[in-house]
Amino acid sequence: MSEVFNVEEIFGQNVFTLGKMKERLPKNVYKEVVKVMDQGGELSMEAANVVAMAMKEWAVENGATHYTHWFQPLTGITAEKHDSFVAHPDEMGKMLTEFSGKELIKGEPDASSFPSGGLRATFEARGYTAWDITSPAFLKESGCGVTLCIPTAFCSYTGEALDKKTPLLRSMEALSEQALRIVRLFGNTEATKVTASVGPEQEYFLVDEKLYRQRTDLMFAGRTLFGAPAPKGQEMEDHYFGVIRERVGAYMKDLNEELWKLGVTAKTQHNEVAPAQHELAPIYETANIAVDHNQLVMEAMKRVAVHHGMRCLLHEKPYAGVNGSGKHNNWSITTDNGVNLLDPGDTPNENIQFLLVLACILKAVDTHADLLRQSASDVGNDHRLGANEAPPAVISVFLGEQLEDVVRQLIETGAATSVKEGGKLLTGVKTLPDFQKDATDRNRTSPFAFTGNKFEFRMVGSADSIASPNTTLNAIVAEAFCEAADRLEKADDLDLAVHDLIKEYLTEHQRIIFNGDGYSDEWLAEAEKRGLPNIKSMIEAASTITTDKAVKLFERFGIFTKVELESREEIIYETYAKTINIEALAMIDMAGKQIIPAVVKYSKALADTVNTVKAAGADTSVQAELLKEVCENLAAMQTALAKLKKVEAEASAIEDVKKQAFFYKDTVKAVMDELRAPADRLEMIVDKEIWPIPTYGELMFEI
């Protein structure tokens, strides 16, 4: 029988929550903290010292010996430098501990050791981390012991953002300011801010630790670079929502326990479509906390898997030919007096505020479809976007039948006089209830789908941070709200001006609405006719963030400077080139040291068999044909291997980072495919006892 634990008792026990602050802080200090969290501003140093002392005492009581400013550099992972609470021994030799307000608020990691896209030279090392007071501190339990983690932003000595948190916080402020202008137009004077809330669904694969260690590609690249299809994949659709295997269930139980202790609202768990693929989804949270928590989810997934003799794969496409992993980013915006701006109500055709918000979002997505596509770009996602398992690379918006009908009426007549109802679902079984169904179906092929009271941005990759897509979403919607408010605030007749603006936006940007099959070739042709961008790769999307349009958007709201955007474009090219370089070198290593030697050994055994059978006077046609096929594929592998070594060396010698990235995409990747093809054919021929690496069947089914 497994250990029993009470969720209510353990939830948030490793988090320095507002509740713990209220218990441990003087009333005046607690009020100052809450005020800064709600309204912004700086905590006084006196209050910071009190908070730091209380935070340290709580952490030490729970076994902590060190603290760290926990931040998210542009590598996409989290970073932490541990400092102990140790101060100095007193005159009696007793060790004293301390933690000051200054240490709480500011840290100083090495800024030159993280990607900066040219913002920082090697000799320019100084950078700063600044406490994000709105995201609670927490305790991380690991092999290092217990560490107090303080969520922070990370900036250079000269003030540029070197992380993903700083632009996100800037975008949240911009969205709140502009959204408040919209709700004020409709008489909401009580709201003081509008918050973006996010719920990211996290998909992942599990693989046995012993098998993982036998695959150089999984260890270094996070995905299989060789591998023939298993006899069974996801064709039977029996894994999706199927019974969770005991070993996986035990992993999920421990993962949930760890996440709940960290205050992560892990809600849903289930098998995903592909064998060995699973999903975890949380409840919605404020965007910056959701970003922090998603990073913790990915860390915990990897750490807990090791304790269960497994490895967690977060790569978007660890196995060719089966479902890849995404991260559906559910996004909504709500006032602090409880109004969800994306809630259409029972009669969306009469909900004018909702229709204006909807029209602004359609305008934002259409105007900046290229930026939204870029925000979901990473190397692994290039294997996924556009395939028949994920949204296409073309951005479109799914509204559903009900809202699409409302929009159609507004465009055609200027007024929506009716709304489609959901009706009753009749089961035809007397003992089952008939119930009200939604007014529209869902569309899993849409990149940006309205799902009742939120939008689901389905393009984000499973290994990626959700900071970038939410920064972009907040920014483009803030711009649309700003432009709408600029016009409406000057209107003599507000009702008429709102009516005209809604119709104008819907008419001008209706091309972005598509409710059909996003996987179909017909849609790609139709999208091209509509003039929608189809950006097929990460590095083709990179330049979208430095266009005049993008720079104007981000600088207008103080989210990015032009210099910061240019640095990020360079980092994208660097990341792409380095990633494909690692994959190419891993293929060279596996082909030269494992697969080719194994096939040579097998071909020799076959040749010996042919000679033996021939000496016995028997027919050798079958063995000879098999030997010929093996030798032809072996020769193809050897030729492709030599070619890959050559083009990889050429790529490494290119100094211009953009040219290098495109050379890896257009030339090196093509040769990698040339090397893989004969290797995968050989896997289907060579004796299993001789084949040197675990197969797809073993990797996906032996857990």
CA atoms of 200 and 454, how far apart (whole Å): 12
CA atoms of 591 and 585, how far apart (whole Å): 10
Element counts in the chain: helices (H) and strands (E): 24, 19
Q: Which two tokens stand for residue 527?
A: 């999208």
CA atoms of 509 and 515, how far apart (whole Å): 15
8-state DSSP, 103: H
CA atoms of 233 and 701, how far apart (whole Å): 9
pLDDT mean over 47-75: 92
Checking if the pLDDT of 687 tops 80, the result is yes
CA atoms of 679 and 292, how far apart (whole Å): 41
Cα dihedral 287→293→298→304 (10° resolution)? -160
669: exposed, middle or buried (Cβ count in 10 Å: 0-12, 13-18, 19+): middle
**Domains 7-162 and 171-423+431-560 equal at CATH topology level:** no
CA atoms of 603 and 530, how far apart (whole Å): 55
Domain boundaries, given as residue ranges, for the chain: 7-162, 171-423+431-560, 575-701
Which whole-number Å values give the CA distances from 624 to 197, 201, 598, 602, 688, in the listed order? 65, 53, 19, 13, 20
Which whole-number Å values give the CA distances from 47 to 28, 37, 139, in the listed order? 9, 13, 22
What's at 547, amino acid-wise? Answer: T
CB 38 within 8 A of CB 191: no
CB 694 within 8 A of CB 211: yes
Which whole-number Å values give the CA distances from 393 to 53, 463, 518, 658, in the listed order? 50, 18, 10, 21
Q: What is the pLDDT of residue 115?
A: 64
pLDDT mean over 528-549: 95
CB 291 within 8 A of CB 470: yes
Q: What is the pLDDT of residue 125?
A: 59
Q: What is the pLDDT of residue 256?
A: 95
Secondary structure (3-state) at 586: helix
CA atoms of 2 and 518, how far apart (whole Å): 45
Which comes out higher in pLDDT, residue 432 or 317? 317
Q: What is the CATH architecture assignment of 7-162?
A: Roll (3.10)
**Which of 56-65, 176-185, 304-313, 384-393 is predicted with the least confidence, judged by mean pLDDT?**
384-393
For residue 87, name the pLDDT band (cuts at 50, 70, 90).
confident
Which whole-number Å values give the CA distances from 417 to 405, 410, 440, 510, 659, in the listed order? 10, 9, 18, 19, 56
Residue 601 contacts by C-beta under 8 Å, 6 or more apart in sequence?
690
Q: What is the CATH architecture assignment of 575-701?
A: Up-down Bundle (1.20)
Checking if the pLDDT of 461 tops 80, the result is yes
Q: Which two tokens stand for residue 401?
A: 């039948």
Q: Which two tokens stand for residue 245?
A: 């295997």
Residue 143 contacts by C-beta under 8 Å, 6 or more apart in sequence?
none
Selection from 99, 42, 67, 75 nearest residue 154 by Cα: 75
Checking if the pLDDT of 682 tops 90, the result is yes
Q: Kindly calculate the radius of gyration of the chain based on its CA atoms and give it in whole angstroms.
A: 28
Q: What is the pLDDT of residue 311?
A: 97
In 10 A of CB 9, how many CB atoms?
8
Q: How far apart are the first and last CA of the chain?
A: 21
Sign of CA dihedral 134, 142, 116, 645: negative
**Which of 120-134, 263-277, 461-475, 486-500 is predicted with the least confidence, judged by mean pLDDT?**
120-134
Checking if the pLDDT of 553 tops 60, the result is yes
Checking if the pLDDT of 97 tops 50, the result is yes
Which whole-number Å values give the CA distances from 560 to 465, 471, 539, 544, 570, in the listed order? 18, 10, 20, 14, 15
Pick the CATH number of 171-423+431-560 from 3.30.590.10, 3.40.1190.20, 2.60.40.10, 3.40.50.620: 3.30.590.10
Checking if the pLDDT of 135 tops 50, the result is yes
pLDDT mean over 416-438: 67
CA atoms of 286 and 331, how far apart (whole Å): 10
The tens digit of pLDDT for each residue in 281-339 reads 999 999 999 999 999 999 999 999 999 999 999 999 999 999 899 999 999 999 999 99
> Which regions of 344-445 does DSSP assign to beta strands (E)?
397-398, 424-425, 435-436
Q: Is 93 left (phi over 0), alpha (psi -120 to 50) or beta?
A: left
**Which of 132-146, 230-244, 509-523 is predicted with the least confidence, judged by mean pLDDT?**
230-244
CB 515 within 8 A of CB 401: yes
Q: Beta strand 448-450 with 397-398: parallel, antiparallel or unpaired? A: parallel
Q: What is the pLDDT of residue 435?
A: 61
Checking if the pLDDT of 554 tops 90, the result is yes
In 10 A of CB 225, how many CB atoms?
22
Selection from 160, 38, 129, 467 nearest residue 289 by Cα: 467
CA atoms of 584 and 693, how far apart (whole Å): 17
Which comes out higher in pLDDT, residue 439 or 522? 522
The tens digit of pLDDT for each residue in 169-223 reads 999 999 999 999 999 999 999 999 999 999 999 999 999 999 999 999 999 999 9
Mean pLDDT of the chain, nearest integer: 90
For residue 1, name the pLDDT band (cuts at 50, 70, 90).
very low
Q: What is the pLDDT of residue 120?
A: 53
Checking if the pLDDT of 100 tops 70, the result is yes
Torsion angles phi and psi, residue 194, rounded to 5 = -120, 130
Q: What is the pLDDT of residue 431?
A: 64
Q: DSSP letters of 612-642?
A: HHHHTT---HHHHHHHHHHHHHHHHHHHHHH
The tens digit of pLDDT for each residue in 579-626 reads 999 999 999 999 999 999 999 999 999 888 888 888 888 887 888 899
Secondary structure (3-state) at 417: coil
Place of tokens 């991260």: 327
> Which regions of 428-568 does DSSP assign to beta strands (E)?
435-436, 448-450, 455-457
CA atoms of 400 and 218, how far apart (whole Å): 40
